[in-house]
Structure 1
């Protein structure tokens, strides 16, 4: 994994983009390092594609500065940026063979003859399409067409490859196959990938680091495990995976722990991780469903765990795991996931009272309503 002390490939400094009275990107500052597979993740309309288009040069920022390899790119046209883009729509030339599609950008750089054949051959081998070199795009599957688009973009030798939801048009099985292929390709070529997606699982699987966007702003930037295990805001907790969110008040501080009061919960506390809270402060705390264990009322959870008693409302079998929706005091509903290592009926059924319990290490403080 590239470290964050590697040279900065992309530097965004207060980048803003407005369309009439709408702000699509709002003051984003971000650094992407050389050799990273960096993903920008967010829902439709959050501004992630607009951000990508500004980096590519297809849109110009209203304010702020965009640097590529330390050089200010504002006002520089796309063809003068050492960047290529892979689109969801593939954008292949239908009248050209696979070989000629891959060769297109290389030829535009003046490469001819033996060197051209070498570069095209290497990139067809990279995406494992050597045997399809003479075919037209219409004779390929969607996944094969996307691999041609990736080979064409990489063959021109850009410093930065931008990928705008490139797997969005593929079915679920093919998406997973192409995710593995993209990871392999990026590792082999070492090119910086900046990847835009709305698919949370895709971002977690592919990325060295992730930037989560919402309503034109950055909510959190971090490694996948940090963004998932320690979401910074309500939005991140709710958008990436499933989260149980409890509204609470700070009742005290004990060393590195915040002691919390929430309806029906005993022993609720959360690691502070250098955060400062005050007595009586309103906060939100979250715990992931897979961290929550269900216990019968006569089965005591481990000492020191956070415990909440409720009633099972729904049981949903998902194959690998079973999802339990539990009604708890205060009118809220919490969710627990259990691996299917035992029969579903053994773990709880609708109407059954249960204890939900979790290790307080897995409680995460979110933003405060008082902040």
Structure 2
């Protein structure tokens, strides 16, 4: 797997290329006989909002703890600004951590919580007041300085934790599922706040989450982890639109995954054979031999539903099936279509017309999409 250089989306940061802030090479961590991080190599660039995304138990929090110095790798190197940190205690690393539990001091005011790390560094007087004030303003809590954590909402407490972590001026801020304890509406609000804060301060953020939407919204780049290994590293649009593996396709969003065999090449297309298909093809790219077993995927929002007598655009991928379920979700309606061979395809149709005109359970339909949106995942498991 190759990792792209850091080229953030337009408008997120002025940098087009940036030096490596945190570099991990061959990092492995075991607990008893279980390998929780397995030979992991990764680069996080200066000024980047980088997310590590994966399910519970995949090793992402252990990875974060090793970077912070709370855990030590059994093998490999962890470099911060080019210096190997293995064996260096946490307090000697230019890193701060924001936890899901906030970890605020309940007996201290908001001001004192933010000032705590600065005081330990010997900052006093006007410099202390200036820095604390700036960071409370950064998280829009300047008027809450005299309150205690119990007098704040969950979102406000999390912003205090972020201000406290940033006030010490770390080169790298580690965030361990910091929005996990908040309700859905507040999570979305804090996502926007985190993007704004990171953009204003320019500090490198390394963010751990199991929330796919959160990672897609926040990140310059995403690393997807599974069972201690990296499945894919890339920009959000690449990870979503062009998943590298079956796991990534299934974990991020909803995806249709079709098992097939390579049946030939037609111009710039690889032709595939799958049960019940009229035509299935993917853009020519990765070499495959005739007869190879492969998996192809297409996102449900790329899929169109047609009546059985409707004309489908020439060259599109096409299946004939029967609507099994129709689920109204507000802006779109989800259709589950049974196709020959025992599989089912999911289509998301925008609600731009009357919902009752679009199809109903038991109705025969043709399912079709532009083959440009088909992605080949490689060999399937037996």
TM range (shorter): over 0.9
How far does the alpha carbon of each residue in 1:103-141 deviate from its partner, in whole angstroms, 9 at most, with x for none? 111111111111111100100000000010000000000
Aligned counterpart, 1:322: 333
Aligned counterpart, 1:300: 311
Per the TM alignment, residue 370 of structure 1 is displaced from its structure 2 partner at its CA by 8.3
Indicate whether 1:170 and 2:169 are aligned. Answer: no
| Partner secondary structure for residue 92 of structure 1 | coil
Alignment partners' CA distance in 2, 1:136 and 1:370: 55
Per the TM alignment, residue 79 of structure 1 is displaced from its structure 2 partner at its CA by 0.2
Alignment partners' CA distance in 2, 1:267 and 1:41: 34
Check conservation: 1:282, 1:370, Cα contact below 8 A: no
Q: 1:283 aligns with which of 279, 290, 294?
A: 294
TM-score of the superposition, structure 2-length normalised?
A: 0.95
Per the TM alignment, residue 256 of structure 1 is displaced from its structure 2 partner at its CA by 3.5
> Which residues in structure 2 correspond to 1:122-201 (within 5 Å)?
122-201=134-213
TM-score of the superposition, structure 1-length normalised?
A: 0.98
Aligned counterpart, 2:3: none
Per the TM alignment, residue 276 of structure 1 is displaced from its structure 2 partner at its CA by 1.1
Q: Which deviates more from structure 2 when the two are superposed, residues 247-256 or residues 234-243?
A: 247-256
| Partner secondary structure for residue 243 of structure 2 | coil
Aligned counterpart, 1:357: 368
Check conservation: 1:38, 1:193, Cα contact below 8 A: yes
> Which residues in structure 2 correspond to 1:101-140 (within 5 Å)?
101-140=113-152
Per the TM alignment, residue 302 of structure 1 is displaced from its structure 2 partner at its CA by 1.2
Alignment partners' CA distance in 1, 2:269 and 2:125: 67
Aligned counterpart, 2:112: 100
> Which residues in structure 2 correspond to 1:6-45 (within 5 Å)?
6-45=18-57
Q: Which deviates more from structure 2 when the two are superposed, residues 308-317 or residues 101-110?
A: 101-110
| Partner secondary structure for residue 224 of structure 2 | strand
How far does the alpha carbon of each residue in 1:48-99 deviate from its partner, in whole angstroms, 9 at most, with x for none? 0000000000000011110000000000000000000000000000000000
Alignment partners' CA distance in 2, 1:299 and 1:345: 18
Alignment partners' CA distance in 2, 1:370 and 1:75: 40
Check conservation: 2:66, 2:72, Cα contact below 8 A: yes
Uncovered stretches (5+) of structure 2, i.e. residues with no partner: 1-7
Per the TM alignment, residue 266 of structure 1 is displaced from its structure 2 partner at its CA by 2.2
Q: Which deviates more from structure 2 when the two are superposed, residues 223-232 or residues 341-350?
A: 341-350
Question: Which of structure 1's runs of 4+ aligned residues deviate more than 6 A?
Answer: none
Check conservation: 2:278, 2:320, Cα contact below 8 A: no
Alignment partners' CA distance in 2, 1:143 and 1:264: 50
Check conservation: 1:12, 1:65, Cα contact below 8 A: yes
How far does the alpha carbon of each residue in 1:301-337 deviate from its partner, in whole angstroms, 9 at most, with x for none? 1111111000000000111111001100100111000
Check conservation: 1:46, 1:216, Cα contact below 8 A: yes
How far does the alpha carbon of each residue in 1:128-164 deviate from its partner, in whole angstroms, 9 at most, with x for none? 0001000000000000000000000000000000000
Aligned counterpart, 1:210: 222
Aligned counterpart, 2:352: 341
Alignment partners' CA distance in 1, 2:81 and 2:283: 39
Q: Which deviates more from structure 2 when the two are superposed, residues 264-273 or residues 277-286?
A: 264-273
RMSD: 1.2
Per the TM alignment, residue 254 of structure 1 is displaced from its structure 2 partner at its CA by 3.2
| Partner secondary structure for residue 238 of structure 1 | helix
Indicate whether 1:83 and 2:95 are aligned. Answer: yes
How far does the alpha carbon of each residue in 1:181-240 deviate from its partner, in whole angstroms, 9 at most, with x for none? 000000000000000000000000000000000000000000000000000000000000
